[in-house]
Structure 1
Amino acid sequence: MANKTSGKLYGVGIGPGDPELLTLKALRLIQGAPVLAYPAPDVGDSLARSIVADHLPGGQVEYPIRIPMVTERFPAQDVYDKAAEDLSVYLEAGQDVVVLCEGDPFFYGSFMYLFGRMMERFEVEVVPGVSSLMACAAMVGAPLAARNDVMTIIPGPVDAEIMKQRLRNVQAAAIIKVGRHFEKIRSILEELDLVDCARYVERATMDNQKVMPLSEVGDAKAPYFSMILIHKRGEAWTL
């Protein structure tokens, strides 16, 4: 049961990268928060903080949640355990805490790990944001799906056979978290004859954004913030 005398925990979606894609509610909460937390790499600056940096009033307590860039489960879980413990101190003192979440907090967002640890002890509110999926479709300039299409979302790290199975009869799909899995994904799409239906988007809405047909992407390693959108029926939304 949440303690009504405690501060409130907010998971605030801040969109895919363009600072102008913040919602009005997100902006209000970010500027009024006495404590601001955000994900950050174990070394270097936080992308989430950089998105909202120009809107910060100053004078806030800032808490970077530094997450090791490794694939193993437990090191990152330890980080969330520690963050939940540390942020609980502010909440128990009656201070609200805003946690910045790239994209949307509940669309593959890391905020869900804090949510799971803290929802029974504190009042928690999730503020939705523009997800990477919506941003990539806008940057490509094509709808994600049309009419009765079934939209399939597949994380890049999944096993190749599982990905192949999911894509075999797909109508519309988004492959997210492409990163170092790019060559595996491209090979599968080539095998399923889906390359000509696919568009590649890298760092959507950011200054260094790239958008192109998948067939034009070279052999360079894709960044984590990249996505492949597929629509098997082509421009099915046109007459």
Structure 2
Amino acid sequence: MSAEVETGTIWGVGLGPGDPDLMTVRGDRLLRGARHVAFFRKAGRPGQARRIAQGLIPEGAQEHAMEYPVTTEIPVSDPEYNRLLAAFYEACTTRLTALAQAGEDVVVLCEGDPFFYGSFMHLYMRLVDQVPVQVVPAITGMSAAWTATGAPITWGDDVLTVLMGTLPEEMLAQRMADSDALVVMKIGRNIDKVCRALQSAGRYDAAWLIEFASMPGQTVQRLAEAERRVTPYFSIIVVHGQGRRP
């Protein structure tokens, strides 16, 4: 009689902001010992997570690319966007569950922190009641961005607000005006709207643009000096708080 196979674990491993040296010790250890490595990518691209992990994946490990059916081709407000992505996440869940039920551990590479606006969250919520799932937290991209400016993002009682550039302009401006320190993500094609909102809130001149934080090609400059030329994906805007200090 054959022994029952012990279910494997799905590991959502945060890779940090982009520099492999900024990974956690646990993340590095799990990746170097992995037999199965899964990662998200756009069709036809190697994928940023896979690029960060280059040289860390053991020889002989089986790689599982999970290719998005859509990224920016249609607006997120289109019902078809959610339908396509939901079906994609369900298919990925089925694939990973099969590996875990066969007794295999799988390391899923996650840019930044897995629970901070990452794709892995959508897998986690589908997997957590089916197979063992563990999450390894990591440094976020915004942490690398404000560190690159050489100034603290918050002081004393400063309130930090993280905003998505996809939000309506009026909401962006209101949130920007109400907070002490700001991080604005998902800028890309929303740059004009974000700039207008910052101007309406009186925060434009204090804003910094960081592109490719902690990665090759990192740039740090005042947003006003960038002339709205912004890298579509790896760009973050920060406004530092100026609160209480000794």
Task: Please report the TM-score for the alignment, with normalisation by the length of structure 2.
Answer: 0.91
Instruction: State whether residues 158 and 241 of structure 2, in contact with CA within 8 Å, keep that contact through their aligned partners in structure 1.
Output: no
C-alpha contact (below 8 Å) 1:197/1:232 kept by paired residues:
no
Per the TM alignment, residue 5 of structure 1 is displaced from its structure 2 partner at its CA by 2.5
Distance 2:15 2:108 in 1: 10
- Percentage identity across paired residues of the two chains: 35
Q: Is the contact between residue 177 and residue 203 of structure 2 (CA under 8 Å) also seen in structure 1?
A: no
Is 1:229 matched up with 2:238?
yes
What's the secondary structure of 2:13's corresponding residue? strand
Cα-to-partner distance string for 1:97-132 (whole Å, 9 max, x where unaligned)? 110000000011111000011000111110001101
| Aligned mate of 1:82, from 91, 96, 99 | 91
Q: Which residues of structure 2 form unaligned runs of 5+?
A: none
- 1:16 aligns to what? 17
Hey, what does 2:128 align to over in structure 1? Answer: 119
In angstroms, what is the RMSD of aligned CA positions? 1.5
SS at match of 1:63: strand
The TM-score with structure 1 as length reference comes to 0.93
Greater shift, 213-222 or 10-19, is seen at 213-222
Structure 1 unaligned spans of 5+: none
The 8 Å contact of residues 136 and 201 in structure 1, kept in 2 or not, is answered as: yes
Paired residue type of 1:188: A
Residues 194 and 232 in structure 1, CA contact (< 8 A), matched pair in contact too: no
- 1:22 shift after superposition: 1.2
Other-structure match for 2:57: 56
Structure 1 residue corresponding to 2:203, chosen from 189, 194, 217 = 194
Structure 2 residue 139 is the aligned partner of structure 1 residue 137:
no
Alignment check: 8 A CA contact 1:180 1:222 kept: no
Which of 68, 71, 78 in structure 2 is aligned with 1:69?
71
Classify the secondary structure of the residue corresponding to 1:10. Answer: strand
Separation of aligned partners in 2, 1:94 and 1:77:
26
| Residue in structure 2 matched with residue 44 of structure 1 by the alignment | 45
Is the 8 Å Cα contact of residues 17 and 51 (structure 1) preserved in structure 2? yes
The one-letter amino acid of 1:57's match is: P
Once the two structures are TM-superposed, the CA of residue 86 in structure 1 deviates from its matched residue by: 0.9
Aligned equivalent of 1:101: 110
| Matched AA of 1:91 | A
